[in-house]
Every structure is written in structure tokens, then in C-alpha cells.
Structure 1
């Protein structure tokens, strides 16, 4: 172990600095996951109880130490139960950066297969959104670039058809039995319709309805790009990684979808949902 310097009786080495840096990054990622949600308040409550336990233990208050000690003993299990959504999102982030995140990774590793692009012609989706927006018909479309999202697809009606403008308009017609829920599109095919999507637990502005909450929730739970057409205003929004862009033009929607399908990183273009409450502009929004 290489010693760098000493602070009093403490020996500081390169390993210690790396350890502190990694812990700092971990804490920051945990903060990003819980920011804007109720979980941050629960986390602060756990932290307060833990600090109180350290104080009463140092002060030799035996009765309080025993009571809080019993609580801290089951703290890990309680944290897993209370923060299951945040833990899931953290594992999703780790999985996205893993070499095993692709379903065909074994074939790529052992047979040196070139990874095929998941991009396809998005014109039918854009044209369908134009028609749906013009008639104020609500729509919820999930685009996935690396997974069929079988768990969510099986919650609805399986279709497995080529994407077309007429098909999407027919699905979201208010008189269609398939219009409720979301449509999942993967590799240029409509995998399923009437799918049940997770709803975000974050506080969102009142202007966003259940479709927008489901879009944000689906983008939090998966690595998908979710498109929403508002039934009230006809405006088009995109959600990714728990963030959203609102009131986009169809050219912007096309560019964002193509960038996502070709593997480009587009998260930095999105903003946190809580930012909408403090911004008056309808279109160009910057993160607070």
C-alpha cells in the first residue's frame, strides 16, 4: 500500500482516495435515483434514526440503545422493501452498462457476430402521431431498442405485426378494444397492444395525465423510449430514464427516435419532471 500523506494519526493511501471517490459516486447516483420522489424523505428518516442511534449509544443510554438497535437490526430488510423501486432502477443502470445487457451477447462473444442495428423506418409512427394529434386521440407507444419487453407485452394482447400508420391509428381509435394501455414496438414490429405499464410514483405537474405518468414510469423501469400523444391538447411528448420532453415538433420526435434506435445517448436532452412547475416556456425547457 503506497502511503501518500498523514492527517494526524491517519495514514492516507491511494487506495483510500479511490475508496472515497467510489463511495462519493455511489452516494451521488443514489441521490439522483431518489431525487424528486417520496423515497428521499424516507431515506432522510432512516439517516436521522441511525444518527440518533449513534448518539444514544455513545451516551450509554442503554434502553434507547436496545430499542433503536433492534430497529437497526432489521434496517436492511426494511430498506429493501421500502426502496424496491429505487433498487430496481439502480440495478437497471448497472445492467445497461454491462456487456451482458444484450440478449445476443453470447453469440457476439463466441462467434464474433456484428451487432445489428435496431433502427427501422419510423415514418409510419410519425405519420400516425400526426393523425392522432390532429384528432386529439390519446396514444402511448413504447419503443425498445434492445429487448422485447416480454413481461409487459404479455400483460396485453400479443400482435407481432409490422408497424404501419393504419395499424397504430386503428389501435388507438377510442372505439377500439385495444386503445387502453400502451403499444410496444421492437425491431420494427408491433409486439403487443393494451399493455399495462408501471406508473411513476414521482410528483408530476397537474397538466400531465395518466398516460404521461405511465410513460415516465415505464422509462424509469426499463431502457425504453416512450412516446405520448395527449388526448386533451394533442401535444406530443417523449419520456426516457424518468425524464420527459414536452410539446415537441414531429421533426424533433423523428430525430430523437432515430438517435435512440441507433444507440446514441439522448438522456442529456431530457429534463426532470419537477422542472416543469417552474418553467413558463411551452417548448424549450432547461433542467434546474
Structure 2
């Protein structure tokens, strides 16, 4: 036993302590991903069932052990089915933080890894369109992606492939337009699709937010995107990013958030200090 000690009749080694610490850390990360969602209750129920199975098996209750054992035998498959959204979020988080994918990783200095300035685009038409839509209380949902083309979500709507312009966005979200119901996806300065269906978050959100805001939060949880929301009820502008929604923003604040997203590195950024005039930040 390496670097071990005894607790009564138990022999505990350094590897055992490390094993327990890693499992605790993993469980904490799983809880963080599921916190506030229905998946927490499912996880607690699944864990309770497993504990009951252990007690029943220890008590040598053969019939009940056999019945519960059938559930435990397909436990991994059941967990994948029940927690597919959480597993997706975990893998997405892992992929975003790995050094191979990071712009600050050890591969980022290679010539072909340099970020192309051509990926940037003028967001002024987007800001002006959102201002006009908010002024007329016209609801809108706009997804901006700097990396993935989001083909899965784009295929749920109608393909457009057009340069971003104020008039085009206003026309799309006009209440009489057949394309207004759904989201617009923008990638590398072009509108790739409209009337797209976005995933809705399972977390509890304030009552002031409707389905459009829930879809924006869900999309920001599932993908590395920033989503601009124009409320149809109040005309207020909001931005969703990484499961967090910033509510009631000014045009300048919208511009700042989008520019920060488009130009940010994958390293962790310190958040701006809050002041009395800052927008409400709703953390989900």
C-alpha cells in the first residue's frame, strides 16, 4: 500500500483517496449540468432505485432482487436515453475546453489555425433591424454562429443563403411573412436559413419569459452560439449565451455582446462588473 493509512479495519491508500475525489468531482459536474432541470428528479429516482436494489440484494430477497436486477441490467442504456440532453451538454463542454479545439491551445499558433479576419462581418444591419423590430413590438429570434454552420437546425427551416441586411431581417420577421415563425440562423455574415426550430430549455425560467426566450436559452445551452431575442410583448432586446440570458439591453449593449462573442478567445473571460444601470442578468 502506497502512502496508505488505516481507518479501523479499512486500509486506505493514496489511490483510493484520489479515486474518491475524482468521482466526487464528476458527480458535482453532472449535478451542475442537470441543476434546475427535470433531469435532477430523474437522476434522484434512478439513484434511489439503485440503492433499494443494493439493500434488497444484501437482504437476500431473491424475487425482488431478480426483478430490480432486470432494470439494473439495462441501466447504462436507460441512462443514455433518459439523460441524452445532459450527455450532449457535457460532451459539448468537453469539446469547447479541450486544447485541440481551443484558439489558445498549443495548436493555435500553426499558420492554418490562425483565425481568418474574413469570418467577421458588419453587425450594424443586425443592430438596426433589431431596433426597428423592437420599436414595433415585432418578435424575432436570431442565432449567430461563428464556428459551426448549424446544419441540423438550419435544415429544420427554409434555406435562404443571403447577405445580412436590415430590410431582409425586417421582412422575414414581419407578422404577415410566412417565415416569421421560428429563428433565423446567421453564419459568417450570411443568413443561412429562416423559420428554424430551436431546442427549448428544460430549466425553470422566470414567468416573464415566453417560448421565444426559452428556445434561445436552450439553443445557447446546446451550441456555441449567441442568440438575439426581440420580445413581441414589450419590444425589449435580450441576448442568450451559454445558458445565461441578459435581459432588456440597449442597442450599444447588444453590439458589445455580439462583438465580444465574435472576437473572444476560448479562454475564460472575467465578467464585467455590475453597476446600477447594467441590464438584468438572469443566470439559469
CA-to-aligned-CA distance 1:98-122 (integer Å, 9 cap, x gap): 35548xx9x9798644222543322
Count, aligned residues = 274
- Runs of 5+ in structure 1 lacking a partner? 271-280
Contact 1:148 1:186 in 2 (8 A): yes
Look up the match of 2:280: 284
Tell whether the 8 Å contact from 2:50 to 2:72 is kept in structure 1 after alignment.
yes
Structure 2 residue 124 is matched with structure 1 residue 114:
no
More divergent stretch after superposition (110-119 vs 195-204)? 110-119
Residue 269 to residue 153, structure 1, CA distance change in 2 (3 Å): farther
160-169 or 260-269: bigger deviation: 260-269
Correspondence 1:258-277 to 2 at 5 A: 258-264=259-265
Work out whether residues 218 and 243 of structure 2, in 8 Å CA contact, stay in contact via their aligned partners in 1: yes
Alpha-carbon distance in structure 2 between the residues aligned to 1:267 and 1:45: 37
Alignment match, 2:255:
254
Give the deviation of 1:5 after TM superposition. 4.1
The SS at the match of 1:206 is coil
Q: Which residue of 2 aligns with 1:164?
A: 165
Gaps of at least 5 residues in structure 2 are none
Measure how far apart 1:283 and its partner are: 3.7
Partner of 2:41: 41
- CA 60–119 in structure 1, closer or farther in 2 if over 3 Å, else same: same
Preserved contact between residue 127 and residue 251 of structure 2 (Cα < 8 Å): yes
SS at match of 1:141: strand
Deviates more, 1:174-183 or 1:133-142: 174-183
SS of structure 1 residue aligned to 2:13: strand
Q: Following the alignment from structure 1 to structure 2, what is the Cα–Cα distance between the partners of residues 239 and 162?
A: 23
Report the Cα distance in structure 2 between the residues aligned to 1:267 and 1:209, rounded to whole angstroms. 29
Tell me the equivalent position of 2:132: 131
Q: Secondary structure at the residue paired with 2:219?
A: helix
Q: Which residue of 2 aligns with 1:275?
A: none
- Please name the residue that 1:91 is paired with: 91
Question: What is the distance in 1 between the residues matched to 2:13 and 2:257?
Answer: 47
Report the TM-score, using the length of structure 2 for normalisation: 0.86
Question: Paired residue for 2:178?
Answer: 177
> How far apart are 1:224 and its partner, in Å?
1.0
Q: Aligned in 2, Cα 1:51/1:226: closer, same or farther, shift over 3 Å?
A: same
Distance 1:247 1:46 in 2: 40
Q: Which residue of 1 aligns with 2:212?
A: 211
Identify if the C-alpha distance between structure 1 residues 41 and 121 changes in structure 2 by more than 3 Å, giving closer, same or farther: same
In structure 2, distance between residues paired with 1:111 and 1:264: 17
Contact residue 241 and residue 267 of structure 1 kept, 8 A: no
C-alpha deviation, 1:285, in angstroms: 3.9
1:201 paired with 2:197, answer: no
Give me the TM-score of the superposition, normalised by structure 1.
0.85
- Deviation track 1:34-91 (CA, whole Å, cap 9, x = no partner) reads 1111110010001111111111122222222222111111111111111111111111
Measure the CA separation in 2 of the matches of 1:285 and 1:242. Answer: 11
